[in-house]
Amino acid sequence: MRKLIFMFSFLLLTSMVLVACGSTSQRNTSQANQSQTQSSTKGSDQQGRDKNQEDKNKDKTGKSHTVVIDPGHQEAAMNDLEPIGPGASQSKPMLASGTTGAVTGVPEYQLTLDVSLKLRDQLRARGYEVVMIREDNHCPISNKGRAEIANRYKGAVFLRIHANGDLNPATSGILTMCPASDNPYVPEIIGDSNRLARLVLDQMVKSTGATSKGIIETNNMSGINWWRRLGIVGCVLVSLGCVSGCQWNLDNLKQYSQNSSARDIKKDETKRVFRFYLAATNEFNYNEVKYGSQYDLIWQQAGANEPLTGFKVQDYERLEQELVAAKEAGRSYENLESTTDAVLPILHDIVSDVKALDSYYKAKQYEKDNYAFSQATLAKLSALLDAFEPKYEALNEAVTAAHKQERNKDIELMRSNGQVNGAHMVEMMGYYSDIVSHIIDQGPNSDVQWVKAQKEAANAIVPKFTSVEVQNRIDQAKNLDAAIDAFVASQSAESYHEVISQYNELARTPMNFKLLDKVQNAYIPEGV
C-alpha cells in the first residue's frame, strides 16, 4: 500500500512548530518498515521489549509506579488565602486564575488539562498507575488541597503542569520548577525533585526542539511545599510564547477562527477555513507515525483473540469531528470539500465500530461469547478501512495542493511587504517540505535526481538571508541535508526515518518572523 503523504504545517506564527508525517494504515507497518524483514521473530522481539519496558515501570513488588498529575488552575479562581507551606507566615491565593494564550485565546486551565490528559494516556500505556487531580475545568481545590490528595499515594511522583506567561511576544521556551536547596517545608525530597526537574526538562527540550529556560528553584510554590510524601515531585511549566499557538486543533481553532479576520484584513476566507483541514490531517497523520506500532500491536492482539483492556487505535472520532468542523467553518478549496464529503460517511461507520470494540473489551464481553462479536466486527472494520484509506489519501493530497497554493501566496505577500528574509524562509522550508513529502510518498522509488535538485535550490537560498535570527534554522538544515544525502545514497529504511526525524527537528527550531525583517505591520504567515 502506498504510504500517505503527511502535510507539513509550518505554523510560522509561533516560535515552535510541531510536525510529523505518517500513514493511515493501522493493520500494516509503514512503507519503510515493509522494506525490512518482517518475521515472527521480530514481532516477538517487539513484544518482549514492550514487556521489559512495562516491567521497568514497576517496583520490586510488581506494583506499577504511581504518577499524580495536577493540571494547573481551573475555570474559576479561588482568591481566599492559604499558607504557602506548613507553618508558613506567608500566604497566597488558594488557586490563581492562570494566564491566556495571546494568539489562540486558550486559557491556561484548558491547555494544562489537554496536555495532562495526553500525558495520562501515554503513561498508562507504558504501565504506570496514573492519578489525575482533575479531568475537567470545574475543580475548586486549592494548591494545598491538590498536594494533600497526592500525599495519599506512597512513593508517587507528583507532576504539576502549568504554562508560563511573558509580556514580551518574542519570549519562548520550556522550564521546570522544584524546591530550592534550602526549602524548609520539604527538605526530604529536594534532591529527588531536582533530578526529576532535570530529567523532565531535558526530555521536553529534546522532544520539541524548544529553547530551555532552565530549572527554577523556589520556596514559595504552595503546591510543592504541601507535598509531604517521601518520593519525588516536579512542576513543569511551559512558556506561553510557545504554547499559545504551537498546537492548532479543534480545541482552540474555532475561537481563533472567529477572531482571525477582524485582527488582520490580509487573512482571506479561503485560508481561514483551510486551516481547519490542515489541523485535522496533521493531527491524524502525526499520531499514526508516533503511535503506529502500538496500533498495529492492538490489531494483532485483537485478531489473535487476546484479552485487551480496550481497543485503542487511531483516533478516528477526532478526525471526524475536525473534518465536520472544517465543513462548518465555511468555504475553502473545492477539492477539500469534495474529498471530505467522500471520507465522512465511511469515517462515521469506522468510529461506530471502534467505539463498539472498545466497549466490548473494556467490559470483558469476550469471556461470554468467546470473541464472536470481536471477530465479526473486526472483519467489518477491516473492510471499512480498505475503503477509507484511498479516500483519505485523496483528501491528504488535496490538503497538500492547497498548502502549496497558500505557501506561494504568503511568499508573494511578504515580498511585496518588504519582508525579504521572511519570504526566503517560507520558500526554503517549502523546498524541504516538498522533498520530505516526496520521500514519504515514494520511499525507495524516490527520484533522487529531483531530490538533489530541490535540496540544492533550498541551499541556494541560505546566502540570501541578512538576519541573524535565521541561524538556528540554517544550522539545523545542515543536519537535514546530511540525512537527505544519506537517503539519496542508500534509500534504506534507516536513512528514510532519519530524513523524517531531521525535518521534524528543523521545523521545531524556534522562529519568530517578527524579528526577521524590520518592517512596520509585519505579515506573519499562518498554516503555510
What does the DSSP assignment read for 255-317? Answer: HHHHHHHHH-TT--HHHHHHHHHHHHHHHHHHHHHHHHHHHHHHHHHHHTT---S------HH
Domain spans, the chain: 63-243, 248-398
Residue 267, pLDDT > 60, answer: no
CA gap 217, 181 in Å, rounded: 8
Among 410-414, 449-453, 515-519, which is the least confidently predicted range? 515-519
Cell 468555504 sits at which residue? 331
Most confident of 148-157, 236-245, 464-473: 464-473
| pLDDT mean over 470-484 | 90
pLDDT above 50 (res 355): yes
Is the model's pLDDT at 177 over the cut of 70? Answer: yes
Burial 177-203 (b: 16+ CB within 10 A, else e): bbbbeebebbeebbebbbebbeebbee
Overall fold of domain 63-243 = Aminopeptidase (3.40.630)
Alpha helical stretches, state H, 75-215: 108-125, 143-150, 190-208
pLDDT band, very low/low/confident/very high, at 24 (cuts 50, 70, 90): very low
In this structure, are residues 326 and 254 in contact, taking their beta carbons and an 8 Å threshold?
Answer: no
Rounded CA separation 79/513 (Å): 38
- Comparing 25 with 218, the larger pLDDT belongs to 218
Which of 57-61, 315-319, 439-443 is predicted least confidently? 57-61
What is the pLDDT confidence band of residue 103, given thresholds at 50, 70 and 90?
A: low
Q: Give mean pLDDT, residues 375-397.
A: 95
pLDDT exceeds cutoff 70 at 258: no
Cβ–Cβ < 8 Å for 131, 86 = no
For the stretch 368-389, what's the b/e string if a residue is b when 16 or more beta carbons lie within 10 angstroms of its beta carbon?
eeebeebeebbeebeebbeebb
The pLDDT value recorded for residue 379 is 96
Residue 241 reports pLDDT greater than 60:
no
Q: Select the more confidently predicted residue: 482 or 77.
A: 482
- Asked if residue 173 lies in contact with residue 16, where contact means CB atoms within 8 angstroms, the answer is no
Cell, residue 80: 481566599
Compute the average pLDDT of residues 391-399: 92
**Range with the largest mean pLDDT of 237-246, 338-347, 463-472:** 338-347
**What region, left, alpha or beta, does residue 443 occupy, with left being phi > 0 and alpha being psi -120 to 50 degrees?**
left
Q: How far is CA 150 from CA 88, 142, 158, 221, in A?
A: 20, 13, 7, 15
Q: What is the pLDDT of residue 104?
A: 64
Residues in the chain: 528
pLDDT higher than threshold 60 for residue 159 = yes
**257 pLDDT above the threshold of 70:** no
- Rounded to 5 degrees, φ, ψ at 176 are -125, 160
Q: Name which of 289, 528, 242 is nearest 412 in CA terms.
A: 528
- Residue 166: predicted pLDDT: 56
Instruction: Share the mean pLDDT of the chain.
Output: 76
- pTM recorded for the entire structure: 0.51
Q: What is the mean pLDDT of residues 436-446?
A: 85
pLDDT of 404 reads: 87
Mean per-residue pLDDT for 13-25?
A: 26
Pairing type for strands 66-71 and 129-132 reads: parallel
Q: Give the mean pLDDT of 384-393.
A: 95
Give the pLDDT score at 255. Answer: 46
Q: Phi and psi (nearest 5°) for 82?
A: -145, 150
Q: What pLDDT, on a 0 to 100 scale, did the predictor assign at position 52?
A: 53
Instruction: Check residue 236 and give its pLDDT.
Output: 41
Q: Residue 6's pLDDT is what? A: 32
Residue of 429, 452, 390, 418 whose CA lies nearest to 508: 429
pLDDT the model gives residue 333: 87
The confidence band for 508, taking pLDDT boundaries of 50, 70 and 90, is low
Mean pLDDT, residues 68-84 = 86
Q: What pLDDT shows up at residue 228?
A: 66
